[in-house]
Structure formats: C-alpha cells, structure tokens
Structure 1
Amino acid sequence: MTSYSENDKRKIIMDYYTNPRARIEKNDNSKYHSKYFHSSTCVDEITLYYDDDKKDWKFVAQGCAIFLSSSEIFIERIKEIGFENKDRLIEIYEKLINFPKDIIANEKEFLGKLIIFENVNKHLNRKECALIISKVFKLI
C-alpha cells in the first residue's frame, strides 16, 4: 500500500484539479446517460456521463479543488475496479471521509489513491465537497 505525505496529497489534488482526466467542457455525445447533482452548501455541481456498459465515464463540473479532484480520482478508481464494485467503493470511501480512524488496511488498499482524502474531515466545509461524487454514483 502506498503512503502519502501531506505534501504529496496536496500535489496530487492540485494535479487532478489542474490536469483533468475525465472532466470535459461539455458533452455533445447522445450515447451517454447522465446524472446531475448540485451541492446544497456551495457552488459545486456535476453532470456525470456514462455509457451503457458503465466503462466510459466523463463529467462536466464546476467547483473547488477537493470536489473536482475527488471526482477525478473516484472515476479513475471505478475504471480500475469495475462498476460492479461501486457500492463497496462508496461505502468505504464515505467511511474514510466521515470516520477515517475506522479504516482498516485492506480498505485503504481498496481505495487506492482516494486515501489522500483521509484528513478532509478536519475541514468540515470540505467534507461535503469530497462526498459529492459518491452521492452521484448512488443515483446510478
């Protein structure tokens, strides 16, 4: 399992924020299904797009670095582990955000790079930002 320093975590968050992988400006492809979610506490909003096989994921969004980078990394992890594991990923990820001390080693391994958000609960205003992507995936 990879361990990240606080500085490494900041670098990864900013890299995903400034160099999007799945984030696009707009979606003109009608083959995609979509789910929309807007935060009730800030300007973060997302429209998640996915194909019939739930293997191709893209999103249009605006918001803070925590929200956008967590969305990027969550989608990256879904692609790695397969959509059939989304419920387990959601459960463990939400546990990480809300109760990070309760996360055990095999759960940390399962989260992959998402583990960098383990301290987000120290900033209560950022918990919602980090959890938006799991809320959207619950709608699918």
Structure 2
Amino acid sequence: MSSLDDLYRRVIMDHYQRPRNKGELDNGAISIELNNPTCGDRISLQMNVENGMIKDARFLGEGCSISLASASMMTESVKGLSVDQSLHLVDLFSRMMQGEEIDTDEFPLEDIEALTGVAKFPARIKCATLAWKALEKGVKQ
C-alpha cells in the first residue's frame, strides 16, 4: 500500500469515526431520504437553502464507512456554496467516481479526494455517491 493510499484511508476513517455535520436541522429545512437497497446504506440529508445558497447541511444515516464518510465530506464541502456550485460539485464527484481525472484547481476537493480510490471498486461507488444523490435531489426541489 502506498503512503498516499494510507493517507486517504485515514481521512476516510476519520470522517467515519468523527463525522462532521451529523444531526438534524430545525423545521423548514429541505429533507431528503435515500437508501441503497443493495447494501442497506441509508442517508437522511437536511439542508437550509436561502437565496440560492446552502447555509447549512446535516445528515443522519446508517451504512458502511465509505457511505457515511462521503456524507460527512459532502456536507462539509457544500456549506456556503450556491445551488449551482453544489450541482457542479456533484457532477465533479460523479465523474471522479467513474475514474475521470478531475482538475482540482477548478474546484478544490480537499478531503473528498480521499474517495478517488473507490472508483476501483464498482460495487462501492453506490455507497460513496448516495449522499451526493440526495444533495442533487434536494437542491433540485
């Protein structure tokens, strides 16, 4: 295992063991629940969107380390973004999960980049993308 793979694994486990933005938002939040029936992952995403900006995002869920770490990373990265910026980030993440090289100068991925290795395991891509699909569905409501 390379030192980069080891670093990525540690970042994923940190988000899994100490998730950021875990919890619920007050009334008025957009709420989306999605599950992956194949593996049992379940994500409930809540967002406060005001004037086209994501002011806050939180999640609850059950699932594997990749699914929950990805939700933690996603909620951390979209706070303060416009709806259009968040949809662009969803597109970049989706392309990354398909194995495409992403220009991180265009949009810094920060911890999200730790999930690049998931593309090598097609069965785990649905785990990593579950929270992102909830984000996309929520901002399009």
Q: TM-score by structure 1 length?
A: 0.84
CA gap of 1:110–1:81, structure 2 versus 1, over 3 A, is farther
Pick the structure with more strand per residue. 2
Q: List alignment gaps of at least 5 residues for structure 1.
A: none
Using the alignment, how far apart are the partners of 2:25 and 2:94 within structure 1?
32
Aligned to 1:113: 111
Aligned to 1:137: 135
Using the alignment, how far apart are the partners of 1:7 and 1:117 within structure 2?
12
Using the alignment, how far apart are the partners of 1:127 and 1:138 within structure 2?
16
Aligned to 2:42: 45
Computed over aligned residues only, the root mean square deviation of the Cα atoms, in angstroms, reads 2.0
2:36 is matched by which residue type in structure 1?
Answer: S
CA gap of 1:6–1:28, structure 2 versus 1, over 3 A, is closer
What are the Cα deviations for residues 15-51 of structure 1, in whole angstroms up to 9, with x where unaligned? 1111121112xx4732322011111311111111112
Aligned partner of residue 49 in structure 1, secondary structure: strand
Using the alignment, how far apart are the partners of 2:124 and 2:6 within structure 1?
18
Aligned partner of residue 114 in structure 2, secondary structure: helix
Q: List alignment gaps of at least 5 residues for structure 2.
A: none
Q: Structure 1 stretch 29-38 or stretch 66-75: which is displaced more?
A: 29-38
Using the alignment, how far apart are the partners of 1:69 and 1:56 within structure 2?
18
Aligned partner of residue 37 in structure 2, secondary structure: coil
Which fold has the larger relative contact order, with Cα–Cα distance below 8 Å and residues 6 or more apart in sequence?
2
Number of equivalenced pairs? 133
Q: Which runs of 4+ in 1 moved over 6 A?
A: none
Aligned-residue identity in percent: 25
Contact kept in structure 2, 1:35 and 1:49, CA below 8 Å: yes
Contact kept in structure 1, 2:43 and 2:59, CA below 8 Å: yes
Q: TM-score by structure 2 length?
A: 0.83
Aligned partner of residue 35 in structure 1, secondary structure: strand
